[in-house]
Structure 1
């Protein structure tokens, strides 16, 4: 009887002890979470807690970069207004693959990694003071600001960056088109025929954007008819010369139209799958080369990757050339499929005589999402 009581008491004590341990564990987790949240709230390097905070930080970084370069930025409402006017040339800073899949109607492709090669095509018929709007994938893409910087450096003085870019445009269910560039009257045609299947494809269930912005096409504006006035003979000039003067004045008063740009077929590098790229990484038989800017590289990169920003190639190459062996497989990468720097950097390396160069199209975004190992720092 006494033994039974002792066993009962001991069992009750053990049960009480287990409950105490469990309660302590729950309290520790709860207190740790509260401390972490509180510390994150007051820290100057706090971690965003939801997607909206991440987007806000990305937009703030982009806006700060644009301000440092004195580049005006515009929002969706402003971009839509300029597009409807039809006198602003939109330029797509994304890769040619993304551009051909779909883009803002009337936009011409000018990937930042192919700026020099495509500049003359993209700006054919544009004056240095004509209005230009650059855009890329959205708030997480810096190419719109970089392209604006490149255009300003090339002498174009009226350039704005649409930070929301393709993401905001499509989320607002505004018209899009696919295929190669059609510069001549592209914006005007898109506004007149937004449902034309061969060119413009509006998203389903189109809805108005912020108040007065609607996806309905405005009526076609009446173009002013320009008639040549009867020119009286001018003393010292022949009738022919006077007629030429009158024709010249009439021509300069006509509204500008964008001539059609002849867009050449873009080069296509071998699109390596993520598994193949990771297998090469594990084998140690390759060298990864990061084409992104130094600040992006410092925030995170593929382990042992060599930093070689496309836009700083001439400055950085002498510093890293000794790390890139000619007997190794070279794999270039940038942010992902909407970034063209990887392919452009691969072309530059081939021009230097490297024969085994591949472009990892999925890039840093695909690598990180797969959960593969990464490094930080410069």
Structure 2
């Protein structure tokens, strides 16, 4: 009995220690939300155990990504569902038939992101009794394991020939139909065919199979990651999602090939002259960062911090103004933007700025001079650390 009590005490101490370590890293505002809503926090090891191989059908818990859909598509923790705080009621439909006792683990863009705490509380309001948050979120997971990506990302990789697409299904299925440009490496022959993978373990590799009900791509990804391939991801939607998006396969009767007349010349800058990023709606991140670092942001650009006034006062990019975009409708937000300028939204990790830009686009507002800065930004006063997120070229 003494040994059992001793073991329980050790476990309790470790749990409290992990929780304390996490609390030390979140912002005071998020810590207040966590305390207010009595939210239990978990770490990477805990989440990793619950995710298992990364296959939705085998995960012990339901992972909830509270970031915007575009961020979710670019890379999420395997098996996750997307329920953004700004589209909660609609996205929650994915869970309507789920038992209220099922464990839910909510995450977002790291320790400075409050979305996980907000969504966790919304879930508790819906009656879910076992809701936890993983405060380190996607940034930490991406450093320690592989991500799951969406169709828009795989399409970009395929078009740009920037990743090795691996069909993990049986070879007979591969010959029947697959994503053009992919190679066949069935999970059952993985050890035998391992030599077909790139020597350079930094190469991008995307494994896919027959959709969310298929674990073969996760088996391949886990094996490759264990062998030192750190730029591995899984296209969980697989061939079914690819076809559902209307994209051509090797079995398509007519491949859609754009003629020279159909090809559009891609714009490289806004009418005012701001350099565009390769992803729709983005400013060229490295270009803008250089202007900010050198204190030479052009006069025609107005950087708009879309976070709360409290966050803005803690620190912001020199010359930026603050408009808390969440508080306004698309029309109200647009009316508050300076006229005659190229407006560039930014936040701390890219999520809120994407939402602000998307809000205007969805309402058919002219966004020819409105962009967003996809970057991780932390500021103390006007001293800012800026890490630009890698563009996908879409």
For normalisation by structure 2, the TM-score amounts to 0.50
Judge conservation of contact 1:112–1:340 (CA < 8 Å) in 2.
no
2:76 matches 1:103: yes
Judge conservation of contact 1:92–1:110 (CA < 8 Å) in 2.
yes
**Residues 239-288 of structure 1, C-alpha deviations (whole Å, 9 max, x = no match):** xxxxxxxxxxxxxxxxxxxxx999989x9423433424738973322332
Q: Match of 2:285?
A: 273
User: What SS does structure 1 have at the residue aligned with 2:226?
Assistant: coil
| 1:107 to partner: Cα distance | 1.0
Residues 264 and 136 of structure 1: CA distance in aligned 2, closer, same or farther (over 3 Å): farther
User: What SS does structure 2 have at the residue aligned with 1:369?
Assistant: strand
Judge conservation of contact 1:90–1:133 (CA < 8 Å) in 2.
yes
2:179 matches 1:179: no
Distance 1:117 1:264 in 2: 21
Which of 95, 99, 104 pairs up with 1:132?
104
Residues 164 and 306 of structure 1: CA distance in aligned 2, closer, same or farther (over 3 Å): same
Structure 2 unpaired stretches of 5+: 1-20, 53-57, 153-207, 229-239, 247-278, 388-394
Judge conservation of contact 2:76–2:149 (CA < 8 Å) in 1.
yes
Q: Match of 2:63?
A: 90
Q: Match of 2:95?
A: 123
| 1:201 to partner: Cα distance | 6.3
Q: Match of 1:51?
A: none
Residues 73 and 155 of structure 1: CA distance in aligned 2, closer, same or farther (over 3 Å): same
Residues 283 and 167 of structure 1: CA distance in aligned 2, closer, same or farther (over 3 Å): closer
2:312 matches 1:345: no
Distance 2:326 2:124 in 1: 15
Residues 67 and 346 of structure 1: CA distance in aligned 2, closer, same or farther (over 3 Å): same
**Residues 58-112 of structure 1, C-alpha deviations (whole Å, 9 max, x = no match):** 2474444311233222233433443347342101234545544543221123344
Distance 1:114 1:130 in 2: 22
| 1:360 to partner: Cα distance | 1.5
Distance 2:121 2:23 in 1: 23
User: What SS does structure 2 have at the residue aligned with 1:160?
Assistant: strand
Which of 190, 204, 222 pairs up with 2:226?
204
| 1:364 to partner: Cα distance | 3.2
Q: Relative to total residues, which structure has the larger strand share, 1 or 2?
A: 2
| 1:137 to partner: Cα distance | 3.7
Residues 158 and 57 of structure 1: CA distance in aligned 2, closer, same or farther (over 3 Å): closer
User: What SS does structure 2 have at the residue aligned with 1:368?
Assistant: strand
2:114 matches 1:147: no
| 1:342 to partner: Cα distance | 0.7
The structure whose Rg is larger is: 1
2:373 matches 1:360: yes
User: What SS does structure 1 have at the residue aligned with 2:356?
Assistant: helix
User: What SS does structure 2 have at the residue aligned with 1:275?
Assistant: helix
For normalisation by structure 1, the TM-score amounts to 0.51
Judge conservation of contact 2:106–2:131 (CA < 8 Å) in 1.
yes
Residues 364 and 117 of structure 1: CA distance in aligned 2, closer, same or farther (over 3 Å): farther
Which of 300, 307, 325 pairs up with 1:292?
307
**Residues 120-149 of structure 1, C-alpha deviations (whole Å, 9 max, x = no match):** 4x4364355543211124334333223323
Give runs of aligned pairs for residues 1-378 of structure 1, distance below 5 A. Answer: 57-59=24-26, 61=28, 62-84=30-52, 86-96=59-69, 98-115=71-88, 118-120=91-93, 122-123=94-95, 125-127=97-99, 130-153=102-125, 156-170=128-142, 173-174=144-145, 176-179=147-150, 194-197=218-221, 203-204=225-226, 268-276=280-288, 278=291, 282-313=297-328, 323-336=336-349, 339-350=350-361, 351=363, 353-355=365-367, 356-362=369-375, 364-365=377-378, 368-369=384-385
Distance 1:141 1:364 in 2: 12
Tell which has more relative contact order, 1 or 2 (C-alpha 8 A, sep 6+): 1
Judge conservation of contact 1:176–1:201 (CA < 8 Å) in 2.
no
Judge conservation of contact 1:91–1:108 (CA < 8 Å) in 2.
yes
Aligned residues: 254
Residues 60 and 298 of structure 1: CA distance in aligned 2, closer, same or farther (over 3 Å): closer
